[in-house]
């Protein structure tokens, strides 16, 4: 499911930035943004609606999972389809009500979501088998993640879409790396389920109290470490970098001339000189590392701690 959401995020945001269709004009449309995150979200382009697209894929895949692996009758099928339809409609109406999307954006998101969902249902068993049992999965996915960072369209005007994609890209890599390493230890179908005799409510509460702080600590530490380590590595290798947010010393002052870049003759610097960018944003790497570490801790580190503590 996580890989499906990452796939939706990449394709949806790529189409947004390729089409560069603006959101409804405000005014005359009254746009409701109650938080800073919503204001940042409003800076993205409008078509297709990511919320509608993601809701179709999420609800469709969850419904498929329940019907494929659980006991069900005609009543459950009807209830599941009704709930999925209701949530998709409510999300679409809400996006229009909030002034974030037009009806065309929402319809495009729903239609695109059905196309992605149909494709994913055709390949998800193959993806699952590849991640769990094949060799060199981590190396392959690391290369794929790097490719997806470079193979991303440049929009007409800057938007936060690429930042969201980088974070989800990191989560997908962390999940794949952790699952590939620990599937037969922690994630087989025999793993204990909540409310079962093997995992009573008290033990589950203990897992929450231990697991969530651990995940947050891993995310904080990985961000702090990568903010220090990645600039040092890039400087050593002669890769020109800037920072838009995380590293104040590397921020570009637009009032000044272009930043001086260390001129080396290393092989990597000659390779990177072939790309159109004059310098690379190190924040992309920092963001990728912190979210990859977060996801890895969820499926690898935290279950190992639970096993050690007998939770």
Write down the catalytic residue from 51, 124, 126, 187: 51
Is the separation of the CB atoms in 138 and 180 below 8 Å?
yes
**pLDDT tens digits in sequence order for the chain, 311 residues long:** 889 999 999 999 899 888 888 888 877 877 777 677 777 777 888 889 999 999 999 999 999 988 887 777 788 888 889 999 999 999 999 999 888 888 999 999 999 999 999 999 999 989 988 988 888 888 999 999 888 888 888 877 778 888 888 999 999 999 999 998 888 888 877 887 777 788 888 888 888 898 999 999 999 999 999 999 988 888 888 888 888 888 877 776 554 444 444 433 444 445 545 555 567 888 889 999 999 999 999 988 888 888 887 76
Predicted confidence at residue 172, as pLDDT, reads 93
What ranges do the domains of the chain cover?
Answer: 1-132, 134-254+264-310
CB burial of 68-106 (b: ≥16 within 10 Å; e: otherwise) equals eeeeeeeeeeeebeeebeeebeebbeebbebbbbbeebb
Write down the catalytic residue from 64, 72, 101, 185: 101
Predicted confidence at residue 191, as pLDDT, reads 80
101 in catalytic set: yes
What would the two tokens of residue 140 be? Answer: 């392959």
């Amino acid at each position: 499911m996580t890989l499906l959401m990452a796939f939706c995020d990449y394709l949806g945001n790529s189409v947004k930035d390729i089409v560069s269709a603006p959101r409804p004009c405000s005014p005359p449309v009254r746009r409701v943004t109650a938080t800073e995150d919503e204001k940042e979200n409003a800076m993205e382009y409008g078509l297709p609606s990511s919320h509608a697209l993601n809701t179709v894929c999420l609800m469709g895949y969850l419904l498929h999972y329940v019907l494929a692996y659980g006991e069900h009758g005609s009543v459950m099928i009807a209830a599941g389809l009704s709930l999925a339809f209701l949530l998709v409609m409510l999300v679409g109406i809400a996006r229009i009500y909030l002034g974030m999307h037009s009806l065309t954006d929402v319809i495009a998101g729903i239609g695109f979501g059905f196309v992605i969902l149909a494709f994913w249902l055709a390949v998800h068993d193959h993806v699952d088998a590849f991640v769990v049992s094949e060799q060199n999965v981590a190396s392959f996915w690391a290369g794929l993640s790097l490719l997806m960072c470079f193979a991303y369209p440049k929009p007409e005007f800057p938007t936060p879409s690429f930042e969201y994609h980088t974070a989800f890209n990191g989560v997908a890599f962390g999940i794949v790396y952790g699952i590939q390493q620990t599937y037969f230890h922690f994630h087989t179908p025999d793993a204990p389920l909540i409310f079962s005799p093997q995992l009573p409510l008290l033990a589950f509460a203990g897992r929450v109290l231990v697991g969530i702080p651990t995940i947050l600590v891993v995310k904080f530490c990985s961000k702090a470490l990568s903010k220090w380590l990645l600039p040092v590595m890039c400087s050593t290798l002669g890769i020109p970098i800037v920072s838009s947010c995380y590293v104040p010393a590397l921020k570009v002052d637009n009032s000044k001339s272009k930043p001086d870049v260390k001129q080396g003759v290393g092989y990597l610097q000659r390779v990177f000189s072939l790309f159109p960018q004059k310098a690379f944003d190190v924040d992309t790497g920092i963001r990728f590392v912190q979210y990859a570490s977060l996801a890895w801790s969820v499926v690898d580190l935290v279950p190992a701690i639970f096993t050690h503590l007998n939770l």
